[in-house]
Amino acid sequence: MEIGITEVGGILTKSNLPIAGYSVNPYVGCPHACRYCYACFMKRFTGHTEAWGEFIDVKFWKPVAHPEKYRGKTVIVGSVTDPYNPEEEKFRRTRAFLEEMKGSGIKLIITTKSDLVLRDLDLIREYDAPMVCLSVNTLDEAFRADMDRAVSIERRIDALRKCHEAGIRTTCFISPIFPGITDVFAIMDRVGGCSDYIWLENLNLRGNFKADIMGYIAERHPDLLPLYRDIYDGRNRAYWHMLDAKAAEYAERTGSRYVTNEEPFLGETQGKPVIINYFYHSEIKQSAKHPRR
């Protein structure tokens, strides 16, 4: 792992994400080395020659001027890095940001694949209605290990449960969904009791990692290769429409609310998780036949 130190003028940047106005990334790069990571595009701007997952730059920034001016703004920590990657245990840059913005009145969202987030529950709980989001896209540890170097799925689910028990709003990102591999409904059964929100997002193959993932499917799941070619070469979205319909049926059966990405989803959950369909973002619309709750 190549570790660098970088000084930046500021740590808060404007975000075009649908759930946040600002983003914070205390690191450049990520040791989790997820094979499907969209953030690998960052290499275009960093000058790193190392493979994605083999470098990380630790950010140090000037103090945020007038933190109170961000009051009421939603800030997502970890849009293109994992703020609780293993180096955070040593450098504590994510914790430094949380300490700096304490009392600012921001709406805090943290995204991670690590149970290291539990270390900072004391700080996170000081924010107004904070949210912690953990990614779980399989219950199969062998497949997980093929795809990333983050902590085990069981540790992620346990962290989700502990955050929920601490009174922190939680989201389980079932993302990315690998067609024919990710058992969406088995995961929802596991996390439904400790997730306020469940976000479903498809595997979007683009950039340099498409060939790698398609090669992996050909080698390890050759029976699924025709399906992947149909979806990712033929651009056939029938699979996602099918999964969309099944997810709506699941929500109806379990008493959950099912919404599309166009709708707000950070409101009250009324004791059941809100399931958010984020397949192809705005390109798949929820059918009028789908029941609403």
- Note the pLDDT of residue 267: 58
- Burial class of residue 139 (count of CB atoms within 10 Å of its CB; 0-12, 13-18, 19+): middle
Grade residue 52 by pLDDT with cuts at 50, 70 and 90. Answer: confident
The mean pLDDT value of the chain amounts to 89
Q: What is d(CA 249, CA 42) in angstroms, rounded to the nearest whole number?
A: 38
Q: How far apart are CA 204 and CA 181, in angstroms?
A: 14
Give the separation between CA 194 and CA 159, rounded to whole angstroms: 10
Residues 6+ apart with CB under 8 A from 168: 121, 124, 125, 130, 131, 132
Rounded distance between C-alpha atoms, residue 137 and residue 165, angstroms? 22
269-279 mean pLDDT = 83
Mean pLDDT of 12-34: 89
* Average pLDDT of the residues in 116-130: 96
pLDDT recorded at residue 39: 66
pLDDT value of position 103: 95
pLDDT-wise least confident of 47-61, 69-83, 212-226, 266-280 = 266-280
Alpha-carbon distances, residue 78 vs 11, 85, 165, 201, 223 (angstroms): 12, 10, 22, 17, 35
Q: How far is CA 100 from CA 68, 106, 121, 203, in A?
A: 11, 12, 15, 35
Q: Is 277 helix (H, G, I), strand (E, B) or coil?
A: strand
Integer Cα distance of 10 and 125 in angstroms: 24
- Average pLDDT in the 216-242 region? 96
pLDDT band for 195, please (50, 70, 90 cuts): very high
- Does the pLDDT value for residue 13 go beyond 60? yes
Distance of CA 161 to the CA centre of its chain: 16
Residue 22 above 80 pLDDT?
A: yes
Residue 42 has pLDDT above 80, yes or no: no
Q: What are the chain's domains?
A: 2-201 (3.20.20.70)
Angle at Cα 292 formed by Cα 250 and Cα 245, nearest 5°? 40
**Is residue 263 classed exposed, middle or buried when 0-12, 13-18 and 19+ CB atoms within 10 A define those classes?**
middle
Q: At 1, is the pLDDT very low, low, confident or very high (cuts 50, 70, 90)? A: confident
Structure confidence at residue 266 (pLDDT): 56
54: pLDDT strictly greater than 90 = no
Is the pLDDT reported for residue 18 higher than 50?
A: yes
Give pLDDT, residue 104.
96
CA distance 157 to 210: 28
What is the pTM assigned to this prediction?
A: 0.90
Distance CA 197, CA 172 (A): 6
Phi, psi (deg, nearest 5) at residue 50: -65, 155
Q: Which of 125-129, 142-146, 268-272 has the lowest mean pLDDT?
A: 268-272
Residues near 18 by beta carbon (within 8 Å), at least 6 away in sequence: 261
pLDDT band at 290 (very low <50, low <70, confident <90, very high): very low
pLDDT at 15 over 90: no
| pLDDT at 284 exceeding the cut of 60 | no
Q: What is the DSSP letter of 24?
A: E
pLDDT, residue 16, reads: 77
**pLDDT band per the 50, 70, 90 thresholds, residue 121:** very high
